[in-house]
Structure 1
Amino acid sequence: MSSRPDPDALGFVLIDVARMLRSAFERRIATAGLGLTPGEARTLVRIATLEGSRQLDIAQRMGIEPMTLSTYLDRLQSLGFIERRPDPADRRAKLIFTTPAAGALIASIRTEQVELMEHVTSGIGPEELELIRDRLKRLRANLCALEEDSAAPALAKDAGR
């Protein structure tokens, strides 16, 4: 076995593909004339999929800092695309919802995503794409379980204080 890392190892390929896909999406959004930054577009789409979630949960799902999300939310709210509502279970928290005004913009962003993915997945048949998606979902579930396992000792330590 060689001591040199394999640049085509699964982990490296996944990281490269994710980075390149994000970059391609950002270029598309930046040139689509939607009036949003790529970060704002990603945020709006994520809110639409997590309708009514807390700001902190959205930030975690997006893998960004809460303050970065807050900046995106401020702009999206000023444009009338989202609204923050108090969380009935926690007065300090806000729940985030899209507004009806966001519908057409979300559809435009979705069109950009679909066209990009059609280009990225050209030459791969529907059955293969479904298999890839299923395997990636399994990897995601395994990683979520790993995160939960690694968080358990910290939670136990905090509970013992």
Structure 2
Amino acid sequence: MISRPDPDALGFVLIDVARMLRSAFERRIATAGLGLTPGEARALVRIATLEGSRQLEIAQRMGIEPMTLSTYLDRLQSLGFIERRADPADRRAKLIFTTPAANALIASIRVEQMELMQHVTSGIGEAELDLMGERLKRLRANLSALEEDSTALTLARETGR
């Protein structure tokens, strides 16, 4: 007899919650009248948290392709919310910065995020939320290390080391 996967196993629950949270955020942003698509809003917030990072790093942190991010950046730049600057360490690369014009918009997006999270976490105590946050950060760190190990292993195989 084949054992069926448990839909309430931690991995499945995490994937479901992440998908549902992203979908709820995208619905809020789409209806908030901010003048941005949900993807542009996510990109703007991520740029604000990674101020001065390269486009590739921002795309990786968002889990999207660099070309998808490039489309968001083109629009955000045309609206005056971000600027691209040459990387002094590599003139081919661009560093991404928010502009002062983006501050009010970022604050509005943050309000949407906070209201959503208030609804999503209703009925969960502050101590529980703190503990959950710490445990999720541990999972993220473990996954990040696993990803780094995998990248190093792939590189070693490709270079024959």
Give the TM interval when normalised to the shorter protein. over 0.9
Find runs of 4+ consecutive structure 1 residues off by over 3 angstroms: 157-161
1:121 is displaced (CA, Å) by 0.1
How far apart, in 1, do the equivalents of 2:124 and 2:40 lie?
30
- In structure 1, the partner of 2:144 is 144
Q: Which amino acid aligns with 2:117?
A: M
CA distance in 1, matches of 2:117, 2:71: 28
| 1:101-155 deviation line (CA, Å, top 9, x unaligned) | 0000000000000000000000000000000000000000000010011111222
Corresponding residue number in structure 2 for 1:129: 129
Residue 83 of structure 2 corresponds to 83
Q: Return the TM-score normalized by structure 2.
A: 0.97
Q: Which residue of 1 aligns with 2:95?
A: 95
Alignment match, 2:30:
30
Quote the Cα distance in structure 1 between the aligned partners of 2:50 and 2:97. Answer: 8
Q: Kindly report the root-mean-square deviation, in angstroms, between the aligned alpha carbons of the 2 structures.
A: 1.4
Rounded to whole Å, the distance in 1 between the matches of 2:7 and 2:159 is 42
Q: Which runs of 5+ in 2 are unaligned?
A: none
SS at match of 1:97: strand
User: Any idea what SS the aligned residue of 1:3 has?
Assistant: coil
Letter in 1 for 2:124: I
TM superposition score normalised by structure 1: 0.97
The corresponding residue for 2:111 is: 111
Equivalent residue of 1:129, what SS?
Answer: helix
* Paired amino acid for 2:154: A
5+ long unaligned stretches in structure 1? none
Provide the identity percentage.
Answer: 87
CA–CA distance in 2 between the matches of 1:91 and 1:159?
A: 27
Shift of 1:5: 0.5
Residue identity matched to 1:56: L
User: 2 CA distance for matches of 1:80 and 1:158?
Assistant: 42
Q: Equivalents in 2 of 1:158, 1:98: separation in Å?
A: 38
